[in-house]
Structure 1
Amino acid sequence: MRNKKKADILLAVLIVLFIGVNIIKAFLGDTYLMRMITFVFEAALVGSIADWFAITALYKKPLGFFSWHTAIIPKNREKVIEAVSKMVENELMSKKMIQKKIENIDFSKYIIEYVENDAKKRGYISDLCIKLLDMLDSEKISDHIEKWLKTKAYEIDIYSYINQFTDSIFKSSEADRFINTVLDYVIDLSKKDQVRLNIENFLDDIVEDNVESKGFFSRLALGIAERTNSVNTEEAAEAVQKEIIDLLFRLKNKNDEMRISIEKKVMEAVYESENQSKIAEYIDKFKNDAVDVTNIKRDIESILNSFIVSLRDELTERKNNINSINDKENVTAISVKNSVYDAKATVEWLENQIYINWYNFKTSDEAKSNLNRYIRIFILKIIRSQHNVIGKVVKDTLSTFTDEALNDFVEDKAGEELHWIRINGCIVGAVFGILVFLFTNEIYAPIIKYLFEH
């Protein structure tokens, strides 16, 4: 420490000069000048020694044996540590001071400089996206998606949509066309051979049931009738099929009495409150049961995993091929088709959106101001709740110091100023010595002599 070395040298010089002046005084005699020089050096030496003693007493025992009110810092280490920690916490790094400093920091500026000058050159966007993908837990995401879909499905009132649909059909001019379309579809189905076979099987079942329920003679008569084609289920099925088709064709006529009657009964059944309630309850139960037994989690997870792998591969490839990223300030949105299934297109779309939003952020004073405000609020919230940690860290750190290390710490931080006090003590002592000597010899002594003589 420079001031300590200066103070030590000055003290040594004063001791030598004081001894030398007294030796010279012994040879030259007690002249006025020699008395003044001796007094000045004596005052300077006393001031220097007194300050040396005071400064040294802070750290240890001066000369190793002065123990009264010495080694102040080691003896009061707990108080010193507590005072230092409180000073750092409440003065050097107080909440108001930190808040004032934070309010003057333009965080958005540093963020923009980092991204523009460093992050983009290293394929930061690809790195960030890959890290985000690696953080994804596809199983949990799939589970959340499935639960969300099921929750939404439970909330859907299917009957209200059906009711709205029937309203729009029956109360619009499209009703007849819709009914005829349905009838055409049913007619096409009725013409199929499988329908005839089903009718035939149905009739065979009826015939068989009737035979089993009758006595012996009835079964014998029915058997003879079948052998003589008196009962032919195949022909009966054809006749029934034809009758059904004819009936459906007749129903296509909107003025047909049966059609009018059916429409009326259907409308009554649909709009009757009791029936509506039952239908709604049945449909809702059917829907909920279907949702309960539906398990799409694995399917979602499989699709999600495949898509994540595709995205990661595409991002890795793009990252490896990046030499530099140009500033895309004038970039415009691109049209992406089937981006959900196309990893490359999705990555391009994501990058494009990032560049667009990044440019919008850079050129928006409001956006940068909002970002600064959010960051300051976040930091200040942490500081308000954890500000006492500053003092605790300082206290815990200083508590690990030995007495010697604590002395070195204090001297390192304040030693230059403390040892300058020693230099000041020497200078002030010398100046004060001159003033006292002159006052004593030129003012005080003549006045006293004059008073005693008169």
Structure 2
Amino acid sequence: MLQYTFEAGLVGALADLFAITVLFRHPFGWKWVPHTAIIPKNRNKLVDGVVNMVENEILSKQMLKEKVEQIHIVEEVISWIERRSSGGQVAEQGWNLLSGFLTKLDLKEIAQLIDVQSRKGLSNTNVAPYAGKAILWTLEKGDFQGWLDKIVQSASSRASGYEVKRAIKKLLEKEKSKYINEGNSLKKFFKKTVVKIAESTDSLNLEEAADALYDDLQNFLRELSNPRHELRVLIEEMVYKLASNLQNRSDVSKAVNSWKDEVIERISLLPSIEALLIKFKDILMYSTDSKYFILEKNNVNSSDIREWISSFMQTYWEWFKSNESMKDWLEKYLKEFTYSIIDSEHSLIGQIVRKTLSNFTEQKLVHFIESKVEIDLQRIRVNGAFIGAALGALFFIVLQGVYKPLLNLFNS
């Protein structure tokens, strides 16, 4: 019985060992043995089968869409951000993200891109109608007369000093010199004589003339403070007319666009754009005591801007979390976008699997598969020995306990 058992167990173990071996390689390197090295010989079929299984069964379009449908994308993102932020404050995380983004920016390249795109956009845009609408909106919605008041007040303030009076006198002296020195020698002689006589008789007094012009200028500016002054009314009418012409007259529109194209061609905005971007980056990135802006004598530096941006981000974040309609809209948009990506790019899954497996040599593919099921293969070999031994014992019992007694009975 032991002999039967061990023989059958050995046969079972050897049979399973052979069967497992020929799946992956030729036994003893004998390539002439038929039906061996099954996996390497059918490598392409195996790759096609794995690609088809992964693409159409394991990660099918429908399955991926069902998984996406089960996920609340917006809520997951909010939870993830909240977990990463300290105490639920996203402002610091947002600021760190912005800072990291700014450090990696090539400002010169961005400035060139902005310059090119702005030039292209302006070149292809008829700016005249927009300018007319902007002027009209300013006239109707803004305080045009109030702006004129400020201009008049500023002019009055600048024209009220002694320097203005002195400038008027210099202008008169320049005009007098120009008058005397024009013409031939005879004319110059007569002009000088006339001027000397006028000055000696006090008919020509530049000091008094400068005072008179200065007083007239002050009176004129005081009169301009009246909103119904004829010049201010005329200016407003002309601005309205300009707005209308910009919107309705093709010749004016053509002239404006021609001027615009000439300005775009001659003036480069690149240095200004680059300088502005660099200054803005410095303000946001680096703390310093330098004054960047002066607004009504209040200094605004990097810490002020950072505090304002952080406050804005935190306020917007709290509003976003409590706005269910916004989150629902964003959730719907993200899922539709994800579905469209799945529909259009699903074949990439199969391509990735195929490319990965195609890079495997036969030896590497065999090793890859064996490494994943190595323990199970050992168990199969052991199972073959146990099952063979059990069958050997069973056969011995049947032969010796049933078949042989029956055979002896019939022979007797």
Q: Which bracket does the TM-score occupy, shorter chain normalised?
A: 0.5 to 0.7
Aligned to 1:193: 165
Q: Deviations over 1:154-209 (max 9, x none)?
A: 7543751586389769xxxx98x999998898889888425633652464255235
Q: Is the 8 A contact 2:159 2:218 kept in 1?
A: no
Counterpart check, 1:53 vs 2:14: yes
Structure-2 separation of matches of 1:205 and 1:83: 105
Task: Tell me the CA shift for residue 225 of structure 1.
Answer: 2.0
Counterpart check, 1:345 vs 2:314: no
Q: Is the 8 A contact 1:81 1:398 kept in 2?
A: no
| TM value normalised by structure 1 | 0.55
Aligned to 2:282: 306
Number of residue equivalences: 375
Match of 2:352 among 389, 400, 408: 389
Aligned to 1:213: 183
Counterpart residue identity of residue 282, structure 2: S
Q: Secondary structure at the match of 1:136?
A: coil
Aligned to 2:293: none
1:391-406 aligned within 5 A: 391-394=354-357, 396-397=359-360, 399-401=362-364
Task: Tell me the CA shift for residue 436 of structure 1.
Answer: 7.2
Aligned to 1:164: 136
1:166-315 aligned within 5 A: 192-194=164-166, 196-197=168-169, 200-201=172-173, 203-204=175-176, 207-208=179-180, 212-214=182-184, 216=186, 218-229=187-198, 232=204, 234=206, 237=209, 241=213, 292-294=267-269, 295-310=271-286
Task: Tell me the CA shift for residue 296 of structure 1.
Answer: 1.5
Task: Tell me the CA shift for residue 385 of structure 1.
Answer: 0.9
Counterpart residue identity of residue 67, structure 2: E
Q: Structure 1 residues 134, 353: CA separation in 2 closer, same or farther (over 3 Å shift)?
A: farther
Task: Tell me the CA shift for residue 300 of structure 1.
Answer: 0.7
Q: Deviations over 1:109-161 (max 9, x none)?
A: 87667555566489982654543343333334444555666677775437515
Structure-2 separation of matches of 1:67 and 1:220: 128
Q: Secondary structure at the match of 2:286?
A: helix
Q: Structure 1 residues 246, 415: CA separation in 2 closer, same or farther (over 3 Å shift)?
A: closer
Task: Tell me the CA shift for residue 391 of structure 1.
Answer: 4.3
Structure-1 separation of matches of 2:88 and 2:134: 56
Q: Secondary structure at the match of 1:72?
A: coil
Q: Unmatched 5+ residue regions in structure 2?
A: 289-298
Q: Structure 1 residues 436, 47: CA separation in 2 closer, same or farther (over 3 Å shift)?
A: same
Q: Structure 1 residues 340, 205: CA separation in 2 closer, same or farther (over 3 Å shift)?
A: same
Q: Is the 8 A contact 1:95 1:383 kept in 2?
A: no
Match of 1:97 among 43, 54, 58: 58
Q: Is the 8 A contact 1:51 1:422 kept in 2?
A: yes
Aligned to 2:36: 72
Q: Is the 8 A contact 1:106 1:372 kept in 2?
A: no
Counterpart residue identity of residue 345, structure 1: E
Task: Tell me the CA shift for residue 303 of structure 1.
Answer: 1.9
Identity of paired residues, percent?
9
Q: Is the 8 A contact 2:12 2:388 kept in 1?
A: yes
Structure-1 separation of matches of 2:334 and 2:392: 56
Task: Tell me the CA shift for residue 103 of structure 1.
Answer: 1.4
Counterpart residue identity of residue 221, structure 1: F
Counterpart residue identity of residue 213, structure 2: Q
Counterpart check, 1:420 vs 2:383: yes
Q: Structure 1 residues 300, 95: CA separation in 2 closer, same or farther (over 3 Å shift)?
A: farther
Q: Deviations over 1:292-337 (max 9, x none)?
A: 255412431332221232379xxxxxxxxxxxxxxxxxxxxxxxx9
1:440-451 aligned within 5 A: none
Q: Structure 1 residues 341, 422: CA separation in 2 closer, same or farther (over 3 Å shift)?
A: same
Task: Tell me the CA shift for residue 82 of structure 1.
Answer: 4.3
Counterpart residue identity of residue 416, structure 1: R
Q: Secondary structure at the match of 1:296?
A: helix
Q: Secondary structure at the match of 1:54?
A: helix
Structure-1 separation of matches of 2:313 and 2:227: 60
Q: Is the 8 A contact 1:159 1:283 kept in 2?
A: no
Q: Structure 1 residues 84, 371: CA separation in 2 closer, same or farther (over 3 Å shift)?
A: farther
Which of these two proteins has the greater Rg computed from alpha carbons? 1
Task: Tell me the CA shift for residue 349 of structure 1.
Answer: 1.5
| TM value normalised by structure 2 | 0.59
Q: Is the 8 A contact 2:169 2:207 kept in 1?
A: no
